[in-house]
Amino acid sequence: MHRFSLVLTVACVWFSSVQAGPLIYMCDDTGKLWTVDTSNGTATILSSMHDSSDNPVVMTDIALDPTTNVLYGISSDDRLYTIAPSTGLASPVGQLGFVTGGLFRVVDANALEFDAAGNLYAAGDDTMQLLPSI
């Protein structure tokens, strides 16, 4: 009887520790990174995203590379970052844009996504500003 109660208790604890639905990462306009339980909307803050100087970084979108499980983000100033979800440390990869006609054309994107092979796509406005390239 005691053994049955113990097994039942362990089973209840195990089931209660498993989230009910799939989790998604969510970033918000204050720079926080959350997980959201899609089965009930419960949101849990993972971290506040920041650079190595502890300056806050607000991401306009995030995407997970399915081939490496590395989380990427694009910031409100149009830079690509990698993100450590647990600490929020955002490491710059580069300015989002391309060189054309001797100028660097910044891409003002707010949508980011990987395909299954790890190729990265973005969507947005490609003529935000033109900067001289060096």
Partner 1 sequence: MQPAISTQPATTRCNFYHLFSVDKSNGTALPLGSFADDPNQSGVENFLSAGDLVFSGSSLYLTAYKQSDFNPLTKTRNYLLQLDWNNGSVLGSNQLLSGANDVRDVFGLAVVNPMFGLGFIGNSNDPAVFTINPSNGSVSNVYSITPSGGGGPIIVPKPTGATFVPTGGRSLSPSLRRWRW
- Number of Cβ within 10 Å of residue 34's Cβ equals 16
55 lies in the site for partner 1, by CB under 8 A? no
Does residue 66 touch partner 1 according to CB under 8 A? yes
Q: Does 88 bind partner 1 (CB under 8 A)?
A: no
Name the minimum Å distance from CB 8 to partner 1.
25
Instruction: Please report whether residue 63 would count as binding partner 1 according to CB under 8 A.
Output: yes
- The DSSP secondary-structure symbol of 77 reads T
The neighbour count for residue 29, using CB atoms within 10 Å, is: 9
* Residue 20 touching partner 1 (CB under 8 A): no
Among 3, 5, 17, 41, binds partner 1 (CB under 8 A): 41
